[in-house]
């Protein structure tokens, strides 16, 4: 559609067109800004929830941090250091009304000062941003790649060969795919490809030798391998990514395949496709250029939604494959009562989740002409 | 993790379909439902599972499912064993090809019986979790939609916050809190696991996991109910009833609630699927039912250790059971949605 | 229409941006982290930047020295295997992640097996035995009543950071461990040194401690002064807890000493290189090791953290690890039937037990405790969860200490009928399913099982299910529970674990009190409510007895008292299942569960 629309506006002046474009751009930017402002109360609510959750989990922070044999003075000193001896929300008696636990929590988080892990005594910002998040990001990115690649292709093929065995078969697989517990799928893959066939290692992100001989930059090992000129590392990282990312990709892949198929079917039944065909364009050009392009809107929306869900699925996948990402980090944190880790991790995941969902909403609004940006 | 259904259901709620007269809607729906292969398969699977869940506790005692036979631990399905192997396993009872059709676990329990006894547990967990979520969620949504204003803003703010967490993560966090005997959710779990019928199926940790999963599903129902109310609220007959002085409460429960039933029904089916997976996932992470309760997720958590040493059957059968259950409810939900709201395509 | 086109372009751009978001985020991170890296990595960067400058020189000199002086065993290998050959690092499948690499600030076996490679003690065990041999100390002597111990130290040793090893370093280490107000203890920042009360009876100044003072007599002589006779003091010091850390490294790292960023610095055959949290610790060979004859054969060792026993077996089979410990009993046949793998034998020096919390009803009744002991079929457990390898335990002391066991003990053999009788006598003819805490709350009866595999309970959950089934046979219904291992131990120490608790112990050194006083001494009062001052006195006296016959007589008497009171039910003494590749040589595991990896090599 884009390439062949008659330029009815050609008569307009260049300035006029620029003005129009700027107007649209301005409106779009204002809309995006509004959406982002709208998530502030949600983020505040999340921080409140995380704050309260952490204070409901049983166990004394100071005892966990210092051990049973610590003296009351040591514990008091630690509570003071972490400002746990301050009131929760507002301080009506002390000097500074806002020198409270909650306000400090927010202030520290915003400044990126996450404190130290009680278990490893390391800076949480290092663990989160240099190790755990890149690991989850890499896993999710590859899962998304697989889900989109396989899902869209399958959906298009199924739609173009509607009613064939390929259509029926792939849609049956997709139905099973949305219903499969991914932790179970992971286990079964470990058995088949790891234990039986010895194709892949059962866990870890890199082989021992690679891990030792290689200094990561971003923490995304496939990327770091390229940046450091160590393609063997990239290759090794990809091999370790195969099983977990397929497991994580399963559900989104199935959802995307189904959505692509139904969107394609709707588009393919429309007039302009018939026109394209009658113009003598080859079938593949028709389908890709005209069909897929127009079916993309709902598909991309679904992909966006799945991006957020990948974060949740990552918790389970990481647990099965001992993947050192945010999911296992949080699970260990909860189990060992590493409060600073849990607090930061949950807050961070929610933040990423909200931002992704908002971006998806925005793109959805921009794509769908029926939705007005009021 | 079938949360993807939620925006669709949202749209379904907002569609104008509800302005039609009930009778024709239901007749149409029934026709469409029966015409759909997907729906029929879903219904068949679901009915089969319900039958298994009802019958297996009658035929199989929990005692026999927990009976240990350490000499015959970790044996493969008996139909895969040679006659000699079976003869060796036989002691008081002669082993045939179907004596242990799913094999045995690490202390020689019969996995077939345990998987079957997992059915009533998982189905009940799903039903109770969804019921809890529906009751609290739709009440929230109804109030928010009907009264609007500050109530609406606050309630929707709450649902937005809850939807801002990946659901499994929120469930994990909530389960962690439930370990505190002082917490409300612990007490609720304690209460639920002491109710007459549920007592035999639940233990306290399982009940806690279930509550956590229910809480996670609440905002979905709240949103659907609210959307349904908003779409109905401005219809003429409601305005008319309001003008005639029908009390608000009556309006809410007589007119608005019934009209939001269809999308809620569809979502309930889909939520059954996600609740069952989530509880199994919590069990897999060691946050659900405790041994020797034959809950599928907890069985998988045990089986995990034996997958890497080659005892694949231990993990295979509970996993298939979960998958089949979830598939059944997903198909049924899809079928119901297509039947009740033909405009939205799956 | 133009605006439509424009809009579509903008949209396309936006979409691209959204799809690229992960990448952008990653890059953004890369752009922001250098500062964080240089700040946070300051501590790590130093050792890393030091070793390159040092290492080449060191390699050159030691290689020459090694070839010139000795190492007759390795001449065929040495030329073919330059130091730092990446493919030749040894990979050990550890059963968990260390909590700290500061040997004095940890009590966990997973940490001590690593610290042992770097932080050596004054004394050591002869490989494979419990016999005490010199290490950093060449000789030691006591005064007549064993209250003053003088150690002569080696004078040719430096820590791997260059700090000299001398009497001051030893004093520094022990003051750090024992004296709460010592400047470099970093207790306020979280260091706890939890082992001190277990072995020294308490920290300096506390009532039960026998520690009085440690001082440097001269450059190479250290004297410990104790408040009461401790004839086995050298045995204690040979335990892995008392590894020497470089004082300079400790001062520099402060509370961070022993954490993943800093690691540990000792005098050992291996040097800390890196710790990838959640994954592994890497150690490299100390090319300047003071004991040339016992220098590491391999250029380094990677200790992987693999919590699940079956996972370790799978990795061993796949060849991704070279040797590992604490496999499940089932693994034995699998390993034996494999042509590439072998089982490495070790005599059990441990005890698996079930503790009964005497603070709660009905465990305050000795009849109930005895009934439980009769109801448990230890043979079934040994067969099912240990593949029959090991011995049923009637007493807490393992075979290595059998001479201290009472010789006329009447064991609680499996007898469910007797158990029911005893329960009926205690007022529970139909068994019970709840417990009543001291404050009157009634809870479901709990049985806690460990979430990890240890030599004594390689598969705790399976054993727990067997306990539950066996106890169920006599009418005792339990609820099985577990939690994170760290929390499990903390709660246990705090006396917050009620009902029945599964735990075990691997001996640190050859001393009956390492088993008996540890479990039935005053510590138990808080943990599980067993308080018997008469027994404490007897055990203390037995430990301080200077004649062995006297000591044996008193320990046997104590054993009988324990058997009658039965606060903990002994279950089995089981050897840990250790396995390695066929090509691995030189691994001599120690009964205490910690040994040097230096002599290990892999043949081609």
C602 DSSP 8-state letter: E
Measured CA distances, A73 to A118, B51, C182, C205 (Å): 18, 62, 16, 17
Confidence of residue A10 (pLDDT cuts 50, 70, 90): low
Residue C154 CB burial class (10 angstroms; 0-12, 13-18, ≥19):
middle
Between B248 and C108, the more confident residue is: C108
Q: Do C87 and A209 touch (CB under 8 A)?
A: yes
C351 forms beta bridges with C505
Residue B70 and residue C331: Cβ atoms within 8 Å? Answer: no
Examine the pLDDT at A73 and tell me if it is beyond 80.
no
Q: What is the largest CA-CA distance in chain B?
A: 83
| A217–C21 C-beta distance less than 8 A | no
Distance in Å, alpha carbon of A165 to nearest chain C alpha carbon = 33
Q: What pLDDT sits at residue C222?
A: 96
Is B166 near chain C, with CB under 8 Å?
Answer: no
Please check whether residue A53 touches B, CB under 8 A.
yes
Task: List the single range of A177-186, A254-263, B152-161, C488-497 with lowest mean pLDDT.
Answer: C488-497
C-alpha–C-alpha distance, residues C191 and B78, integer Å: 55
- Residue C558: pLDDT above 90? yes
Helix axes C548-565, C366-375, angle to 10 degrees: 90
- Please check whether residues C366 and C495 belong to one and the same domain: yes
Percent of chain A residues past pLDDT 70, beyond the cut: 89
Q: Is A168 on the interface with B (CB under 8 A)?
A: no
Contact between C110 and C98 (Cβ < 8 Å):
yes
The answer to whether B244 faces chain C, any CB pair under 8 Å, is no
User: A12 falls in which pLDDT band (50, 70, 90)?
Assistant: low
Q: How would you classify residue C151: left for phi > 0, otherwise alpha for psi between -120 and 50, otherwise beta?
A: beta
Largest Cα–Cα distance of chain A, in whole Å? 86
Return the bridge partners of C221, or none: C152, C218
- Are C387 and C393 in contact, with CB atoms under 8 Å apart? no
Question: For C478-488, how does the pLDDT look when each residue is reduced to its tens digit (9 = 90+)?
Answer: 989 888 787 78
Nearest chain C Cα distance for residue B196, angstroms: 17
Higher pLDDT pick, B46 / C487: B46
Q: Rounded CA gap, C186 and C180, in Å?
A: 9
Q: Does residue C206 have a pLDDT over 90?
A: no
The rounded mean pLDDT for chain A is 82
Residue C480, SS3 per DSSP:
strand
Q: Does A195 touch chain C (CB under 8 A)?
A: yes
> Is A1 a residue whose pLDDT tops 60?
no
Q: Is A11 a residue whose pLDDT tops 60?
A: no
- Tell me the pLDDT tens digit for each residue of A187-219: 999 999 988 888 888 878 888 778 777 888 888
Q: How many helices (H) and strands (E) does chain A have?
A: 16, 0
Over pLDDT 90: what percentage of chain C?
55
Residues 290-309 of A with CB under 8 A from C: 300, 304
Q: Do A68 and C490 touch (CB under 8 A)?
A: yes
Alpha helices for A269-292 (secondary structure H): 271-278, 283-285
B327 contacts in chain A (CB < 8 Å): 175-176, 179
Kindly list the residues from chain A whose CB atom is less than 8 angstroms away from the CB atom of residue C263: none
pLDDT of residue A70: 63
Chain C: residue whose CA lies nearest to A318? C278
Residues C204 and C241 in one domain: yes
DSSP H/E element including C206: none
Residue C177 predicted with pLDDT over 90: yes
Report pTM: 0.83
Is-contact C576 C96, C-beta < 8 A? no
Q: How many residue pairs from chains A and B have C-beta atoms closer than 8 A? A: 144
Chain C touched by A212 (CB under 8 Å): yes
- Look at residue C23 and tell me if it is in a domain: no
Q: Which residues of A touch B280 (CB under 8 A)?
A: 181
Reported as half-sphere exposure (CB side, CA atoms, 13 A), residue A189 has a value of 24
Query: Contact A58/B7, CB-based, under 8 Å?
Result: no
CA proximity to A325, closest of A343, A310, A307? A310
User: How far is residue A89's CA from residue B310's CA, in Å, rounded to a whole number?
Assistant: 54
Region C567-585: what's the mean pLDDT?
94
Asked whether residue C67 is domain-assigned, the answer is no
Percent of chain C residues past pLDDT 70, beyond the cut: 86
- Tell me the CATH number at C482: 3.10.105.10
For chain A, list the contacting chains (3+ Cβ pairs, <8 Å).
B, C
Residue written as tokens 């290998």? C77
Closest CA to C446 of C511, C357, C528: C357
Residue C478 inside a domain? The answer is yes
Q: Domain boundaries in chain B? A: 26-59+104-339
> Most A CBs within 10 Å: which of C186, C278, C307, as the mutation test of the A interface?
C278
Q: Say yes or no to pLDDT of A281 above 90.
A: no
The CATH code for residues B26-59+104-339 is 1.10.3720.10
C36 and A130 within 8 Å at the Cβ level: the answer is: yes
Inter-chain touch C22–A137, beta carbons under 8 Å? yes
Test mutation, B62, B107, B190, B290, chain C, max C CBs within 10 A: B107
**Best of A112, A196, A204, A319 to disrupt the C interface by mutation (most C CBs within 10 Å)?**
A204
For all residues of chain C together, what is the average pLDDT? 83
Residues forming beta bridges with residue C327, ordered by sequence position:
C577
Tell me the average pLDDT across C557-578: 93
Same domain, C191 and C309: no
- In the prediction, which pLDDT does B342 show? 54
Show which of residues 289-328 on chain B sit within 8 Å of chain C, judged by CB atoms. Answer: 290-292, 302, 304-309
**Degrees, nearest 5: CA angle C152-C154-C159:** 125
Please report which residue ranges of B60-148 form alpha helices under DSSP H: 62-65, 83-89, 111-147
Q: Is B43 helix (H, G, I), strand (E, B) or coil?
A: helix
**Per-range mean pLDDT, top range of A354-363, B110-119, C179-188:** B110-119
Mutation pick from B7, B115, B163, B164 vs chain A, by most beta carbons of A within 10 Å, is B164
* Closest alpha carbon to B225 in B264, B268, B270, B272: B264
Q: Where are the alpha helices (DSSP H) in C122-274?
A: 167-178, 195-200, 233-237, 247-253
Same domain, C584 and C564: no
Q: What is the pLDDT of residue A195?
A: 83
Chains that touch C (3 or more CB pairs under 8 A): A, B
Beta bridge partners of C570: C353
| C472 belongs to a structural domain | yes
Given the structure tokens 């295979």, which residue do they identify? B316
C398 pLDDT band (50/70/90 cuts)? very high
Instruction: Report d(CA C223, CA C226) in Å as an integer.
Output: 10
Angle in degrees, 0-180, between the axes of helices A133-160 and A326-335, rounded to the nearest 10: 130
Do the Cβ atoms of A68 and C279 come within 8 Å?
Answer: no
Instruction: Write phi, then psi, for C273 (nearest 5 degrees).
Output: -110, -55
Subunits close to B (at least 3 CB pairs below 8 A): A, C
> Where would I find the H helices in chain B?
5-14, 22-35, 37-59, 62-65, 83-89, 111-147, 149-163, 167-178, 184-192, 198-201, 204-233, 236-243, 248-250, 257-259, 261-284, 296-307, 312-340
If one counts the domains in chain C, the total is: 3
> Phi and psi at residue A24, in whole multiples of 5°?
-65, -45
Structural domain range at position C168:
113-256
Find the CATH number of the domain harbouring C184.
3.90.76.10
Confidence of residue C87 (pLDDT cuts 50, 70, 90): low
- Least CB–CB distance from B70: residue in C334, C383, C444: C383
Strand C479-481 relative to strand C446-448: parallel, antiparallel, unpaired?
A: parallel
The dihedrals phi and psi of A346, each to the nearest 5 degrees, come to -65, -45
Considering only the beta carbons, identify the residue of B304, B326, B345 that sits closest to A262. B345
CA distance linking residue C326 with residue C460, whole number of Å: 12
Chain A residues closer than 8 Å to B285 by CB: 316, 319, 331
Last residue of some domain: C194, C221, C256?
A: C256
Tokens of C56: 């080449």
Nearest to A178 among B2, B177, B312 (CB): B2
Digit-coded pLDDT (tens) for C439-476: 888 888 999 999 888 889 988 999 999 999 999 999 99
Residue C136 burial (CB count, 10 A): 23
A111 touches chain C (CB under 8 A): no
> In sequence order, what are the residues at sequence separation of 6 or more whose Cβ sits closer than 8 angstroms to the Cβ of residue B49?
B119, B123, B324, B325, B328
Contact A120 C490 (CB under 8 A): no
Closest chain A C-alpha to C110 CA, distance in angstroms: 15
Is the domain of C504 the same as that of C382?
yes
Contacts of A368 in chain B (CB under 8 A): none
Residues C155 and C192 in one domain: yes
CB contact under 8 A, C384 and B305: no
Q: Across the strands, what pairs with C218?
A: C221
Tokens of C209: 């401690």
- Whether C241 and C190 map to the same domain: the answer is yes
Mind telling me how many Å the CA of A218 is from chain C's nearest CA?
Answer: 5
Contacting residues for A211 by C-beta, under 8 A, at least 6 apart: A204, A205, C276, C279, C280
Note whether C297 and C598 are within 8 A (CB): yes
Sign of the C-alpha dihedral, residues C487, C492, C497, C502?
positive
What does the pLDDT look like over C217-247, one tens digit per residue?
Answer: 999 999 999 998 999 999 999 999 999 999 9
- Mutation for C interface: A120, A213, A221, most C CBs within 10 A: A120
**C537 and C453, same domain (yes or no):** yes
- Cα of C250 to nearest chain B Cα, Å: 37
Say whether A184 and B315 touch across the interface (CB within 8 A). yes
- Max distance between CA atoms of chain C, in angstroms, equals 105
Q: What is the DSSP letter of C601?
A: E
User: Other CB atoms closer than 10 Å to residue B76's CB: what's the count?
Assistant: 17
Cα(C374)–Cα(C369) distance, integer angstroms: 9
What pLDDT, in 10s, does the model give residues B77-100?
Answer: 989 888 888 888 887 788 888 889
User: Is C188 in Cβ contact with A24 (below 8 Å)?
Assistant: no
Residues C509 and C521 in one domain: yes
Q: pLDDT by residue (tens digit) across C3-62?
A: 444 444 444 444 444 444 443 343 433 333 333 333 333 333 333 333 333 333 333 333
DSSP-based three-state secondary structure for C275: strand
Interface contact B305-C311, CB threshold 8 A:
yes
- Interchain proximity A324–C255, CB inside 8 Å: no
CA distances from C343 to B143, C325, C580 (A): 68, 10, 7
Examine the domain organization and report whether C222 and C326 are in the same domain: no
**Which tokens is A216 given?**
């990561």
Q: Given an 8 Å threshold on Cβ–Cβ distance, is A121 in contact with C33? A: no
Helix axes of B37-59 and B111-147: crossing angle, nearest 10 degrees: 120
> Using 50, 70 and 90 to split pLDDT, how confident is the model at B52?
very high
Q: Which residue has the tokens 């929120």?
A: B170
Look at residues A299, A359, A353, A349 and name the one whose alpha carbon lies nearest to residue A328.
A349
The answer to whether residues C165 and C308 belong to one domain is no
Kindly list the residues of chain C whose beta carbon comes within 8 Å of any beta carbon in chain B. 308-311, 313-314, 328, 330-331, 334, 380, 383-384, 444, 451, 459, 461-462, 464-466, 468-469, 479-482
Which tokens belong to C522? 């005053």
β-pair partners for C352? C504, C572
- Identify whether residues C221 and C313 lie together within a single domain: no
- Give the pLDDT confidence of B248-303 residue by residue, as tens digits: 777 777 777 777 788 888 899 999 999 999 999 999 998 888 888 899 999 999 89
* In the block, residue with structure tokens 């949504």: B141
């Amino acid at each position: 559609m884009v390439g062949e629309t008659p330029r009815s506006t050609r008569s307009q002046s260049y300035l006029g067109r620029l003005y129009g474009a700027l107007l649209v751009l301005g409106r779009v930017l204002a809309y995006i800004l509004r959406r982002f402002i709208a998530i502030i109360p949600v983020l505040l609510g999340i921080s409140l929830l995380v704050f309260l959750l952490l204070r409901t989990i049983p166990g004394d922070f100071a005892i966990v941090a210092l051990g049973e044999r610590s003296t009351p003075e040591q514990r008091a000193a630690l509570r003071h250091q972490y400002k746990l001896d301050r009131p929760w929300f507002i301080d009506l008696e002390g000097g500074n009304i806002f020198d409270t636990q909650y306000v400090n929590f927010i202030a520290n988080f915003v400044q990126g000062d996450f404190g130290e892990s009680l278990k490893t005594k390391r800076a949480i910002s290092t663990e989160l941003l240099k190790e755990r998040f890149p690991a989850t990001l890499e896993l999710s990115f590859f899962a998304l790649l697989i889900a989109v690649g396989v899902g869209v292709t399958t959906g298009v093929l199924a739609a173009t060969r509607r009613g064939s065995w390929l259509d029926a078969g792939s849609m049956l697989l997709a139905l099973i795919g949305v219903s499969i517990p991914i932790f179970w799928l992971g286990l079964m893959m470990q058995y088949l490809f790891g234990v039986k066939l010895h194709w892949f290692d059962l866990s870890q992100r890199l082989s021992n030798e690679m891990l030792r001989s290689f200094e990561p930059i971003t923490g995304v090992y496939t990327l770091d391998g390229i940046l450091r000129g160590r393609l063997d590392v990239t290759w090794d990282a990809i091999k370790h990514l195969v099983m977990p990312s397929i497991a994580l990709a399963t559900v989104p892949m199935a959802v995307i395949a189904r959505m692509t198929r139904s969107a394609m079917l709707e588009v393919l039944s429309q007039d302009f496709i018939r026109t394209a065909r009658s113009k003598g364009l080859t079938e593949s050009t028709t389908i890709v250029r005209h069909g897929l392009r127009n079916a993309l809107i709902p598909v991309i929306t679904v992909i966006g939604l799945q991006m957020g869900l990948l974060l949740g699925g990552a918790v389970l996948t990481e647990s099965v494959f001992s993947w050192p990402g945010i999911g296992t980090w949080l699970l260990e944190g909860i189990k060992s009562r590493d409060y600073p880790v849990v607090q930061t991790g949950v807050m961070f995941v929610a933040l990423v989740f909200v931002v992704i969902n908002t971006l998806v909403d925005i793109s959805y609004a921009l794509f769908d002409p029926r939705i007005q940006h009021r | 993790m079938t949360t993807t259904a939620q925006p669709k259901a949202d749209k379904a709620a907002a569609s104008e379909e509800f302005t039609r007269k009930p009778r024709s809607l239901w007749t149409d729906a029934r026709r469409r439902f029966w015409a759909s292969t997907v729906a029929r398969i879903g219904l068949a699977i679901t009915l089969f599972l319900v039958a298994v869940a009802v019958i297996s506790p009658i035929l199989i005692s929990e005692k026999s499912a927990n009976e240990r036979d350490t000499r015959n631990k970790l044996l493969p399905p008996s139909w895969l064993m040679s006659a000699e192997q079976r003869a060796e396993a036989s002691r008081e009872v002669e082993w045939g090809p179907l004596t242990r059709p799913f094999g045995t676990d690490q202390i020689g329990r019969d996995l077939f019986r345990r998987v079957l006894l997992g059915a009533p547990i998982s189905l009940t967990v799903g039903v109770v979790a969804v019921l809890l979520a529906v009751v609290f969620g739709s009440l929230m949504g109804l109030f928010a939609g009907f009264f609007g204003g500050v109530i609406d803003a606050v309630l929707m703010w709450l649902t937005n916050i809850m939807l801002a967490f990946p659901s499994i993560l929120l469930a994990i966090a909530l389960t962690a809190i439930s370990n505190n005997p002082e917490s409300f959710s612990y007490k609720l779990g304690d209460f639920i696991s002491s109710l007459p019928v549920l007592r035999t199926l639940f233990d306290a940790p399982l009940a806690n996991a279930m509550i956590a999963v229910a809480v996670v599903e609440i905002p979905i129902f709240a949103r659907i109910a609210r959307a349904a109310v908003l779409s109905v609220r401005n219809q003429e007959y409601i305005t008319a009833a309001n003008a005639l002085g029908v009390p608000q409460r009556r309006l809410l429960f007589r007119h608005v609630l019934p009209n939001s039933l269809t999308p809620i029904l569809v979502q309930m089916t889909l939520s059954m699927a996600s609740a069952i997976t989530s509880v199994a996932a919590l069990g897999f992470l060691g946050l659900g039912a405790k041994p020797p309760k034959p809950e599928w997720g907890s069985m998988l958590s045990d089986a995990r250790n034996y997958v890497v040493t080659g005892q694949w059957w231990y993990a295979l059968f509970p996993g298939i059971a979960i998958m089949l259950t979830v598939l059944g409810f997903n198909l049924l939900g899809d079928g119901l949605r297509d039947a009740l709201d033909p405009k939205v395509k799956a | 229409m133009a605006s439509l086109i424009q809009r579509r372009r903008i949209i396309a751009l936006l979409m691209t941006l959204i799809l690229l978001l992960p990448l952008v985020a990653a890059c953004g991170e890369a752009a922001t982290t250098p500062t964080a890296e240089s700040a946070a990595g300051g501590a790590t960067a130093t050792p890393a930047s030091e070793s390159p400058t040092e290492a080449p020189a060191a390699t050159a000199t030691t290689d020459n020295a090694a070839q010139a002086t000795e190492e007759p065993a390795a001449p065929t290998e040495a030329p073919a295997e330059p130091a730092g050959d990446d493919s030749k690092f040894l990979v050990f499948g550890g059963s968990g992640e260390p909590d700290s690499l500061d040997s004095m600030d940890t009590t966990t076996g997973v940490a001590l097996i690593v610290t042992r490679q770097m932080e050596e003690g004054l004394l050591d065990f002869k490989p494979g035995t419990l016999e005490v041999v010199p290490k950093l100390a060449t000789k030691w002597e006591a005064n007549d009543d064993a209250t003053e111990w003088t150690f002569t130290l080696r004078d040719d040793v430096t820590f791997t950071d260059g700090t000299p090893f001398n009497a001051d370093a030893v004093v520094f280490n022990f003051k750090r461990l024992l004296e709460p107000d010592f400047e470099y203890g970093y207790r306020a920042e979280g260091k706890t040194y939890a082992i001190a009360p277990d072995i020294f009876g308490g920290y300096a100044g506390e009532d039960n401690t026998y520690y009085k003072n440690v001082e440097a007599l001269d450059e190479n002589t250290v004297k410990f002064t104790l408040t009461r006779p401790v004839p086995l003091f050298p045995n204690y010091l040979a335990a892995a807890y008392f590894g020497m850390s470089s004082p300079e490294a400790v001062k520099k790292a402060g509370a961070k000493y022993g954490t993943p960023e800093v690691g540990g610095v000792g005098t050992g055959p291996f040097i800390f290189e890196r710790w990838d949290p959640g994954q592994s610790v890497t150690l490299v060979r100390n090319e300047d090791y003071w004991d040339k004859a016992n220098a590491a054969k391999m250029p380094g060792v990677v200790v992987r953290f693999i919590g699940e026993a079956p996972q370790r077996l799978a990795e061993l089979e796949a060849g991704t690890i070279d040797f590992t410990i604490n496999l499940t009993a089932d693994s034995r046949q699998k390993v034996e039937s494999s042509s590439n793998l072998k089982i490495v034998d070790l005599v059990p020096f441990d005890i698996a037990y079930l503790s009964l919390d005497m603070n709660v009803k009905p465990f305050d009744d000795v009849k109930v405790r005895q009934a439980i002991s009769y109801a448990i079929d230890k043979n079934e457990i040994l067969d099912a969860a240990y593949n029959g390898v090991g011995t049923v335990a009637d007493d807490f002391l393992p075979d290595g200490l059998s001479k201290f066991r009472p010789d006329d003990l009447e064991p609680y053999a499996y007898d469910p009928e007797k158990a029911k009788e005893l329960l009926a006598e205690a007022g529970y003819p139909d068994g019970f399913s709840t417990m009543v805490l001291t404050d009157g709350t009634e809870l479901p009866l709990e049985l806690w099982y460990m979430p990890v595999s240890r030599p004594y309970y390689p598969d705790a959950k399976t054993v727990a299910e067997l306990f539950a089934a066996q106890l169920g046979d006599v009418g005792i219904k339990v609820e099985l529970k577990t939690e994170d291992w760290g929390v499990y131990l903390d709660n246990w120490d705090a006396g917050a674990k009620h009902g029945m608790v599964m735990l075990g112990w691997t001996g640190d050194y050859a001393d009956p009190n390492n088993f008996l006083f540890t479990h039935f001494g005053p510590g138990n009062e808080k943990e599980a409510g067993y308080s018997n001052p008469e027994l404490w006195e007897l055990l203390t006296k037995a430990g301080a007895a200077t004649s062995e016959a006297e000591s044996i007589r008193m320990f046997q008497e104590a054993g009988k008292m324990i058997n009658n009171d039965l606060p903990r039910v002994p279950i089995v003494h089981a050897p840990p299942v250790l396995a390695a590749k066929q090509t691995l040589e030189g691994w001599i595991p120690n009964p205490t569960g910690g040994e040097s990896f230096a002599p290990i090599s892999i043949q081609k």
